[in-house]
């Protein structure tokens, strides 16, 4: 009965753990996305959902928000007003999404916004620019500029930058195009410009193609049309632009963000003229866009790389804005700590809405890929408008940009700035007229790479393309080791208003010059510079994508590898390269021009070129992804605890006793445990346990290092050298610990088991000390990179003194270890060691081998002597010993007869002689005096050797006597003479007749 209770208790515990685990897994927070996932505008919906999922995966892989995963629910509205309302109602009925990202078209957002307002669901539009999306709807936010601001901006750009006063407008009747055209027209009238012609069309017109053709035909006849505004969405823009270009119309065309989408750019791919000449249809079209990557910050460049690596395609601004919109919602969820449960959903949505509404200043803004994310009082994002121009199917920044002036009081002489057109009045706002300088770098060689001091020698070409009269060479390299001053350009070109300067630069630069997260054996090489005088209000560096051929970054990196810019023999490989512009703040140092600056700091545009290199070697470090670190740490710790408990006797006894109760069978466990420990298979089991423990320890080290370094790196701009050094030391000490454990388990324990004697502590301590001493030397040499010469010399001298003092003892001890390992004999074996008397081994300790000889005394032989001597083991390998006594018989006896008699004699011996293997007789041959026979038999006990031989000889004598065979005795006759006088050699022949000289006459 008690067994049943215990099983029930364990089942309840397991069930509780499983339910807790799965309930934790089911704790998720839902976010809804609504956009074009099918139909003609699929590209935009695909880009946005991919970007959102990219960010959510990053959050979820690091544990989510308070352990809760963020799940994206996708809804397809196909950019249709009716579908948008239907999907908004579906979201409301599901009652699980805490917020909505969407819609894409302004008309869809306006339609669905009524439902979100009624249901109290916060929504953020990443691409809807119509002012009515957020107007009178406190639940709707816009993370992009509005058509009102962009329309006015475009009108001012045409007037102030293009210096044109005549414009024409082509727009659609949808909310987006109609509103943009209205705002643009109103602003041009305010600026004193003329809207010469205006055409519109219906997007749902069955005869749309015909309508567009008619518009283009009319446009072709209007030589005074001026700059043409295309207030259309992407798909309609493709059709309209193709007709205009095919008609040969050369007027400058401008548009808003819709013509900077991938949908527009990819819309020309199938046309023959576009395939033969990429950019044929899009070249020289100006667009007001939220983001261009050549002027984007480092976060945008990293997003671009990660997006390309995951989805194998280039992101556009819609993906970047969707990414930041997801980031805004995640920050809101994190800050408000909502539950995301159905019963708390109303309160959760209200908290998210209130948090978003509180982001009203740049100081509260959340910095992301697209810049600083915050809203005005009407919930519209305060994002700048960037003017881009298409070149060779790439959207690059226009040479002139307009930037808002955050603090007008900072301008010392506003009237003079307006007169010089350094500042323009746009939409009743003063804006800086900023010059864009296209910047490119071509690296020729990287040499003298000094990782220890974090410096390297760089040889590269640096060029600038610009319009205004500026001094591009007046730059400050921010990571230079020694001052580098650019002199006259190596190449100068001028084409119209455009100027090109190229410089050849050589110098020494610091490595790892950018704030970044530390990565093991990875470094950033490159340059970072700013203009010495012109701040970001007057000059912005942008990456010369066209000039450097950066349309395919992978191909560009391969080109560097083919040029062997970095010598492969140095042991480093190039992993990635980034070119980006960001901003740096420097003190104005009390300059009179900037006395009105509130904080006394000046903002400069900084250009960065960073080449990521990695040690070209195999390393376990850094192989574990950050998102796997926490689960692996928990797993490895639990496994280590389990494996440690598994080895203990109490665990193997009391755990089954707890589960099964104190039954008779369970009480047998101590005996079974002893049998298991003494069993030969225990070695293999211990080996498996040790191997698992070592593996779990390695995983724990790898995971802990990744997680700790990541956490430390996030909180500091410096590399976490202390943490890395700490783990470097652990990577020496932990393996040393497991080596010591292995020696204990697989050497000392088997030796003790075989010898039945404890290993001397002096041996254990000495071996452990040597292992840790070697680890200490490794730490000094490889972690702290110090030479070991003096340390080894000192330790060698100490070791020599100690070694000489205990030389004999150490020799005997280690010889004893060798004897116990090799086991040439065991206790109880009859042996003969060297020239010592034979005897039985009675003891083998760590200094001597003790042998009891036949005389009865104990012979103690030093282990060093025993290990170096010839050893005869009479019991190896089966414990039997063969004797071969020889019997000599007169040769005239028949061998067969003699063999029969001798065999009967040996078989008659009752004790001592083994019956198996059977004794036998060998006829060994005849010598000059006898025939020899060998009696071959096996002893049961070598200790009784002489007693058995005595009995054998007795039986042989008896049998030979009965058979009338006598033992042959070797006799020698010796003749001795006394008193014989000395004889001369010449007389010898006369004394020996056989040697007498023959008579020649006979």
**Strand 140-142, strand 123-125: pairing:** parallel
Q: Give the pLDDT band (50/70/90) at residue 4.
A: very low
DSSP string, 66-109: TTBEEEEEEEE-TT-HHHHHHHHHHHHHHT-EEEEE--SSHHHH
The residue that leads in pLDDT, 648 or 5, is 648
Average pLDDT, the chain: 83
Average the pLDDT over each of 413-417, 742-746, 954-958 and give the range with the smallest value.
413-417
DSSP structure string for 287-304:
EEES--GGG--HHHHHHH
Which percentage of the chain shows pLDDT scores above 70? 82
Closest Cα partner for 184 from 224, 157, 161?
157
pLDDT of residue 739: 92
DSSP state of 913: B
Supply the DSSP symbol for 593: G
Burial class (CB in 10 A: 0-12, 13-18, 19+), 604: buried
Alpha-carbon distance of 148 to 130, in angstroms, equals 7
SS3 call for 465: strand
User: What's residue 132's pLDDT?
Assistant: 92
How many CA atoms within 13 Å lie on the side-chain side of 312? 0
Tell me the H-state helices in 837-880: 863-868
Burial class (CB in 10 A: 0-12, 13-18, 19+), 398: middle
Phi, psi of 845, rounded to the nearest 5 degrees? -105, -165
Supply 348's token pair: 């959760």
Lowest mean pLDDT among 99-103, 770-774, 808-812, 870-874: 808-812
Strands 886-889 and 931-939: antiparallel
Burial class (CB in 10 A: 0-12, 13-18, 19+), 324: buried
Residue whose C-alpha is closest to residue 157's, from 373, 378, 359, 386: 386
CA of residue 60 relative to chain centroid, distance: 18
In the numeric block, which tokens belong to residue 668?
A: 């047998």
pLDDT band for position 479 (cuts 50, 70, 90):
very high
Q: What is the mean pLDDT of residues 176-194?
A: 92
- pTM of the predicted model as reported, rounded to 2 decimal places: 0.63
877 upstream amide cis, omega within 30 of 0: yes
- Give me the pLDDT at residue 664, please: 54
What is the average per-residue pLDDT within 646-672?
Answer: 54
- Angstrom distance (rounded) from CA 706 to CA 714: 12
Q: What is the C-alpha to C-alpha distance for residues 33 and 319, in angstroms, rounded to an integer?
A: 13
pLDDT of 592 > 80? The answer is no
Q: What DSSP line would sit under 247-263, residue for residue?
A: TT----EEE-GGGGSHH
26-145+311-383 belongs to which CATH class? alpha beta
pLDDT given at position 490: 92
* 247-283 per-position pLDDT tens digit: 999 999 999 989 998 889 889 999 999 999 999 999 9
pLDDT of residue 676: 52
Integer angstrom CA distances of residue 505 from 460, 477, 494, 511, 560: 5, 11, 22, 17, 17
- List, in order, residues 6 or more apart from 804 with CB less than 8 Å away: none
Assess whether pLDDT exceeds 60 at residue 9. no
Residue 77 has a pLDDT of 94
What would the mean pLDDT of 14-19 be, rounded to a whole number? 51
pLDDT at 673: 53
DSSP assignment of 948-967 = HHHHHHHHHHHHHHHHT-PB
If one compares 259 and 828, the residue with the highest pLDDT of the two is 259
As a whole number of angstroms, the distance between CA 345 and CA 333 comes to 12
Residue written as token pair 């567009």? 212
Instruction: For strands 539-543 and 830-833, give the pairing.
Output: unpaired
Residue 247 confidence (pLDDT): 93
DSSP state of 759: P
d(CA 203, CA 238): 13
Residue 609 — pLDDT band, cuts 50, 70, 90? very high
Q: How confident is the model at residue 21 (pLDDT cuts 50, 70, 90)?
A: very low
Q: What is the pLDDT of residue 3?
A: 45
Q: Please state the φ and ψ torsions of residue 543, each to the nearest 5 degrees.
A: -75, 130
> Could you tell me how many helices (H) and strands (E) the chain has, helices first?
30, 34
In angstroms, the CA 445 to CA 459 distance is 5
CB-based contact 732:775 (threshold 8 Å): yes
**Distance between CA atoms of residues 293 and 291, nearest Å:** 6
From first CA to last CA, the distance across the chain in angstroms is 132
Q: Where are the domains of the chain?
A: 26-145+311-383, 147-289, 435-615, 626-809, 810-873
Backbone angles phi, psi at 99, to 5 degrees: -160, 170
CATH code of 435-615, in short, is 2.70.170.10
Helix (H, G, I), strand (E, B) or coil at 925: strand
CA–CA dist 462, 442 (Å, integer):
7
| Distance of alpha carbon 881 from alpha carbon 937, whole angstroms | 8
* Strand order across the 286-289 sheet: 194-201, 166-172, 227-231, 253-255, 286-289, 386-391, 394-397
Q: Which residues contact 390 (CB under 8 A, 6 or more apart)?
A: 279, 282, 283, 284, 285, 287, 396
166-172 vs 227-231, strand pairing mode: parallel
Tell me, yes or no, if the two domains 147-289 and 810-873 fold the same way: no
Across 124-138, 291-305, 822-836, 862-876, the highest mean pLDDT is recorded for: 124-138
Q: Are 158 and 169 in contact (CB under 8 A)?
A: no
3-state DSSP assignment of residue 129: coil
**Which tokens is 904 given?**
């009967």
- Cα–Cα dist 190/186, whole Å: 6
Enter the tokens of residue 234.
Answer: 């992407």
Which CATH architecture does the domain made up of 810-873 adopt? Roll (2.30)
The answer to whether 141 and 375 have CB atoms below 8 angstroms apart is: yes
Specify the 3-state DSSP secondary structure of 459: strand
DSSP-derived letter for residue 247 is T
CA distance 903 to 899: 6
What CATH number does the domain located at 147-289 have? Answer: 3.40.50.2300
Mean pLDDT of 540-558: 79
Q: How far is CA 64 from CA 27, 28, 55, 60, 67, in A?
A: 10, 9, 11, 4, 5
Predicted local distance difference test score (pLDDT) of residue 994: 47
Question: pLDDT, tens digit, for every residue of 716-726?
Answer: 444 566 777 88
Directed axis angle between helix 761-778 and helix 807-822, to 10°? Answer: 100
Is the pLDDT confidence value at 809 over 70? no
- pLDDT per position as a tens digit, 312-351: 888 989 999 999 999 999 999 999 988 888 889 999 999 9
Average the pLDDT over 98-121 and give the result. Answer: 94
Tell which phi-psi region holds residue 756, choosing left (phi > 0), alpha (psi between -120 and 50) or beta: left
Dist. CA 478–CA 556, nearest whole Å: 25
pLDDT bucket at 460, cuts 50 / 70 / 90: very high
More confident residue, 355 or 878: 355
């Amino acid at each position: 009965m008690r067994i049943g209770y215990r099983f029930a208790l364990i089942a309840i515990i397991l069930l509780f753990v499983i339910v807790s685990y799965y309930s934790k897994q089911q704790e998720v927070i839902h976010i809804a996305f609504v956009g074009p996932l099918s139909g003609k505008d699929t590209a935009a919906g695909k880009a946005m959902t991919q970007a959102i999922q990219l960010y959510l995966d990053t959050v979820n892989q690091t544990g989510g928000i308070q352990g809760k995963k963020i799940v994206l629910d996708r809804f397809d509205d196909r950019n249709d007003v009716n579908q948008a309302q239907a999907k908004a109602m579906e979201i409301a009925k599901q009652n699980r999404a805490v917020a909505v990202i969407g819609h894409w078209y302004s008309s869809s957002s306006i339609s669905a916004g009524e439902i979100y307002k009624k249901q109290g669901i916060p929504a953020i539009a990443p691409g809807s620019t119509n002012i009515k999306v957020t107007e009178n709807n406190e639940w709707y936010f816009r993370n992009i500029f509005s058509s009102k601001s962009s329309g006015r901006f475009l009108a001012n750009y045409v007037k102030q930058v293009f210096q044109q006063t005549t414009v024409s407008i082509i727009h659609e009747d949808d909310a987006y195009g109609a509103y943009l055209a209205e705002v643009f027209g109103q602003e041009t009238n305010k600026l004193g410009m003329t809207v010469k012609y205006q055409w519109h069309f219906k997007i749902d017109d069955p005869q749309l193609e015909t309508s567009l053709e008619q518009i283009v035909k009319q446009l072709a006849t209007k030589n005074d049309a001026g700059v043409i505004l295309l207030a259309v969405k992407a798909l309609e823009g493709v059709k309209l632009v193709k007709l205009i270009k095919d008609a040969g119309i050369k007027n400058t065309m401008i548009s808003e963000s819709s013509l900077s989408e991938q949908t527009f750019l990819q819309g020309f791919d199938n046309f023959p003229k576009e395939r033969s000449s990429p950019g044929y249809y899009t070249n020289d079209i100006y667009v007001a866009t939220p983001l261009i990557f050549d002027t984007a910050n480092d976060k945008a460049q990293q997003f671009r790389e990660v997006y390309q690596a995951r989805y194998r395609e280039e992101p556009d601004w819609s993906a970047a804005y969707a990414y930041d919109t997801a980031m805004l919602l995640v920050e809101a969820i994190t800050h408000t700590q909502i539950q995301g449960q159905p019963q708390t959903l109303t309160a959760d949505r209200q908290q998210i809405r209130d948090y978003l509404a509180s982001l009203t200043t740049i100081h509260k803004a959340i910095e992301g890929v697209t810049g600083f994310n915050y809203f005005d009082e009407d919930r519209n994002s305060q994002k700048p408008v960037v003017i881009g121009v298409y070149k060779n199917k790439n959207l690059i920044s226009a040479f002139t940009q307009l930037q808002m002036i955050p603090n007008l009081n900072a301008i010392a002489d506003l009237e003079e700035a307006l007169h010089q057109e350094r500042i323009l009045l746009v939409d009743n706002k003063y804006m800086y007229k900023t010059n864009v300088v296209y910047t490119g770098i071509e690296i020729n060689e990287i040499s003298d790479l000094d990782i220890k001091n974090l410096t390297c020698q760089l040889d590269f070409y640096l060029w600038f393309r610009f319009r205004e009269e500026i001094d591009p060479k007046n730059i400050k390299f921010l990571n230079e080791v020694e001052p580098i001053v650019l002199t006259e350009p190596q190449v100068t070109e001028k084409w119209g208003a455009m100027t090109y300067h190229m410089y050849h630069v050589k110098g020494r630069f610091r490595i790892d010059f950018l704030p970044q997260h530390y990565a093991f054996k990875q470094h950033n090489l490159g340059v970072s510079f700013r203009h010495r005088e012109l701040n970001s209000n007057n000059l912005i560096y942008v990456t010369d994508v066209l000039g450097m051929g950066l349309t395919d970054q992978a191909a560009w990196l391969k080109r560097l590898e083919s040029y062997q810019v970095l010598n492969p023999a140095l042991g480093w490989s190039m992993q990635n390269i980034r070119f980006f512009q960001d901003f740096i703040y420097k003190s104005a140092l009390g300059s009179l021009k900037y006395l009105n600056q509130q904080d006394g700091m000046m903002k400069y545009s900084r250009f960065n070129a960073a080449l990521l290199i990695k040690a070209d070697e195999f390393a376990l470090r850094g192989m574990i992804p950050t998102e796997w670190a926490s689960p692996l740490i928990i797993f490895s710790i639990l496994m280590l605890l389990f494996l440690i408990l598994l080895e203990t006797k109490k665990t193997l006894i009391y755990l089954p006793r707890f589960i099964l109760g104190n039954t008779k069978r369970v009480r047998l466990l101590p005996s079974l445990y002893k049998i298991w420990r003494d069993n030969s298979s225990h070695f293999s089991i211990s080996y498996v346990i040790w191997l698992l423990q070592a593996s779990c320890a390695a995983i724990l080290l790898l995971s802990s290092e990744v997680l700790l370094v990541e956490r430390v790196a996030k909180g500091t701009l410096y590399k976490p050298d202390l943490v890395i050094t700490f783990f470097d030391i652990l990577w020496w000490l932990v393996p040393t610990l497991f080596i010591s454990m292995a020696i204990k388990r697989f050497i000392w324990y088997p030796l003790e088991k075989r010898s039945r004697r404890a290993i001397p502590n002096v041996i254990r301590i000495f071996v452990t000390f040597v292992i840790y001493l070697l680890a200490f030397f490794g730490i000094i040499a490889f972690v702290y990179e110090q030479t070991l010469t003096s340390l080894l010399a000192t330790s060698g001298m100490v070791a020599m003194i100690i070694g000489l003092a205990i030389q004999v003892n150490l020799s005997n001890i280690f010889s004893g270890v060798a004897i116990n390992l090799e086991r040439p004999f065991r206790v109880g074996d009859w042996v003969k060691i060297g020239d010592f008397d034979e005897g039985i081994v009675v003891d083998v300790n760590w200094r001597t081998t003790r042998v009891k000889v036949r005389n009865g005394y104990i012979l103690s032989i030093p282990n060093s002597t025993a290990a170096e001597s010839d050893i005869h083991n009479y019991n190896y390998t089966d414990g039997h010993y063969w004797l071969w006594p020889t019997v000599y018989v007169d040769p005239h006896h028949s061998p067969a007869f003699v063999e029969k008699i001798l065999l009967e004699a040996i078989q008659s011996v009752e004790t001592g002689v083994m019956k198996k293997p059977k004794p036998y007789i060998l006829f060994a041959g005849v010598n000059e005096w006898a025939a020899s026979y060998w009696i071959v038999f096996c002893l049961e006990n070598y200790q009784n050797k002489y007693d058995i031989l005595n009995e054998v000889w007795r039986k042989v004598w008896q049998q030979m006597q009965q058979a009338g065979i006598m033992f042959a005795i070797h006799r020698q006759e010796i003749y001795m003479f006394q008193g014989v006088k000395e004889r001369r050699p010449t007389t010898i022949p006369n004394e020996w007749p056989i040697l007498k000289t023959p008579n020649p006459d006979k």
